[in-house]
Structure 1
């Protein structure tokens, strides 16, 4: 977590995400890149003109950039980053495309994003911007919902199945656990259609932990109507926690049909959620 990218539109939520990123960078001796995205595309759509910004587009863009730099300096003074290097970049275009471009351009190894979530029909058809990045990012993403202190994190909730096919993910989670010096909680949510006994599932989780040589962990089986409900309920019972999950990165029609538990949790859980796109089967 040396090169951290933080998309920012200068809202209160963005400020909280940036503060979270700076605290991580202070511990990792890393640096933070604040990304502000300027998107003039809605002007074309709203006016239905061929080129509505033809005459003044450069002056409009220049003014938006000037204001963004002023807002960044004000935010930087408020946050007091200490010895952490915090740089500011501006990209123009669609938000999600600009973030993915910046991950590669800035050689980022972590994205920290604020999210207010999404709900109802909007969640099904659009989803939060953070959810879209969670689905497509080549590096881990922290979704931050509130002003959560990095130094207070003591627990990592790791919802998991019991299949032994998660080597790359487990290595990432181990590194996360070491960084935060936290206890790992292996959580298996038992939904109504799952008929295996709790004790059998607990034994399977213990075998899972031994197989991957995990340390400083607990195993937890919780019953709930859905995986999302079980994860969020357990997180609310455990103070000073974050959630670590994998996502399969479905997009398009596949995403509408299958979705992702990780993305649902990102949208609805008040705790910070760390996600990593799993490529293993």
Structure 2
């Protein structure tokens, strides 16, 4: 169960939407939410000026975070929800790693991009860094215009080239069991049939996913993986996408595809990135 949830925010409408989604996702759970604001302060040659600026930014962030906590509490989603405020003067990905380690965070929920992201970008640079480099904790990424909907169907793309541990599948199973979701296991056929190793991994996956509902789906390898997954999400009414991040994974191949650099990875549903 996700007992401690980290919510990074830059006080934008996009990050508020991600926080609102997280609160609704865990509305029936007893959770402690950590609201994190991270502002990298460029050091001035004048130490006294840097100290004053740092203090001003800290006080401003503290004021805004308290306002956001009050705003959340006004919705009265769950009186057993608890909130803690965190402020960091470091890069966002480093701040997240610090908070995860210090407070034993179970899940990070963040927006696809921040207020300063390039126009037209699907993922902001901070989010991409968190996805690519942060390890040891799952991240749930919420699209800009995504309204909360119970995740009744969760897509899980896999090539069956490796087995998954119970630890890796735990975040996926936890959410699926919370909402009695069906896990839709998607395999994009790069071969006519699975080899012996893939068959073994497929069988192990079904065993590890029990008692969750699951269903296998097969798609021909006709386009870039990002495009095929996007089509699958739209046509199969998927409410959440989940992938395990590891070397040579489907997720890694997507971020290495040239199409990512042109149109980026389209995601209209929450995207759960699970560490190896």
TM-score bin (small chain): 0.7 to 0.9
CA contact (8 A) 2:149 2:239 kept: no
Q: CA deviation at 1:172?
A: 3.6
Distance 2:46 2:39 in 1: 14
Distance 1:87 1:81 in 2: 17
1:212 paired residue among 208, 214, 217 = 208
Change (3 A) 1:52 1:238: farther
SS at match of 1:72: helix
1:235 aligns with 2:228: no
Worse-matched range after superposition: 63-72 or 101-110: 63-72
List aligned pairs for 1:1-281, cutoff 5 A.
Answer: 1-41=2-42, 44=43, 51-79=44-72, 80=74, 82=76, 83=79, 84-116=81-113, 128-135=125-132, 136-163=134-161, 165-168=163-166, 169-190=168-189, 194-196=190-192, 207=203, 210-212=206-208, 214=210, 215-223=212-220, 224-239=222-237, 241-248=239-246, 260-261=252-253, 267-278=265-276
SS at match of 1:26: coil
SS at match of 2:110: strand
Q: CA deviation at 1:33?
A: 0.3
Distance 2:273 2:28 in 1: 20
Q: CA deviation at 1:65?
A: 1.7
Distance 2:151 2:84 in 1: 26
Change (3 A) 1:54 1:205: closer
Summarize deviations over 1:167-194 as a string: whole Å, max 9, x none: 232344222311232111010123xxx2
TM value normalised by structure 2: 0.79
Distance 2:175 2:217 in 1: 19
Greater per-residue helix proportion: 1
Unaligned runs of 5+ in 1: 45-50, 251-257
Change (3 A) 1:101 1:205: closer
Unaligned runs of 5+ in 2: none
Distance 1:184 1:248 in 2: 20
Summarize deviations over 1:52-74 as a string: whole Å, max 9, x none: 34221121112112221222233
Change (3 A) 1:226 1:151: closer
Distance 2:92 2:269 in 1: 24
TM value normalised by structure 1: 0.77
Summarize deviations over 1:215-265 as a string: whole Å, max 9, x none: 422211122312222112111223351011011279xxxxxxx98146578
CA contact (8 A) 1:5 1:110 kept: yes
Q: Report how many aligned residue pairs link the two structures.
A: 255
Change (3 A) 1:115 1:26: same
CA contact (8 A) 1:155 1:242 kept: yes
Change (3 A) 1:74 1:267: farther
